[in-house]
Amino acid sequence: MKDKFYIIAPDGVDAPLRFDDLEMAKEQAKKLSDKFGKPMKVLTCTSTSLITPDEINVKVDSFETALEYLGRENNACMYDIPGKHAKAMVAMYKLITIAEAWNKADNFVPDFSNRNQYKYFPWFVYDDKSARLEAAATANAALTAYAAVGSRLCFKTEGRAKQFGEQFIDLFIDFLLFN
């Protein structure tokens, strides 16, 4: 593997396209841009910029680093959302984006039509004493998706779901509680 390589990751493509030659990457990006009618970025990567699944929670530890890892810009348009819901909607968007980055590192694409694929969700309890949520456990589903947990926030393993719930508890509080 070369130390430096180039990738194009257009929306709607499961795996980014990898090139060892910058000019070839630029040429392909131009073709894809013409085909899809939107700009394509060519990202320069080094072997040290690759993130392994066991360190995704360290390297992608925020919404901003998740966007960077996914090669996206923050383009959320949240117009006309009533003030009491805006904080929850922003938190949900951040959680979904970070979960997508973690699942990408784990090479996990949730497929709810696949009844044999288990999906794990963080599970919370409300602590009356602190008036906060606490990460309690995980739940899994192979046959159904629980509406109470949200199918966009599922993971490949129980450990990953627990880790995500604990690490981003403040975003879950903003998403799930009126505060």
pLDDT digits (tens, 9 = 90+) for 57-90: 888 899 988 888 888 887 766 666 777 788 888 8
Say what the pLDDT of residue 15 is.
56
106-115, 139-148, 152-161, 163-172, range with the lowest pLDDT: 139-148
Q: Are 122 and 161 in contact (CB under 8 A)?
A: yes
- Backbone φ and ψ for 79, nearest 5 degrees, come out as -85, 150
Say what the pLDDT of residue 50 is.
56
At 73 the three-state DSSP class reads: coil
Say what the pLDDT of residue 12 is.
55
Cα–chain-centroid distance for residue 62? 10
Query: Who contacts 140 (Cβ-Cβ below 8 Å, separation ≥6)?
Result: 118, 119, 120, 121, 158
Residue 161 has pLDDT above 50, yes or no: yes
Sheet arrangement for strand 4-8: 17-19, 4-8, 43-46
Say what the pLDDT of residue 2 is.
47
Average pLDDT value for the chain: 78
Higher pLDDT, 135 or 122: 122
- Containing H/E element for 138? strand 132-141
Span 31-49, average pLDDT: 73
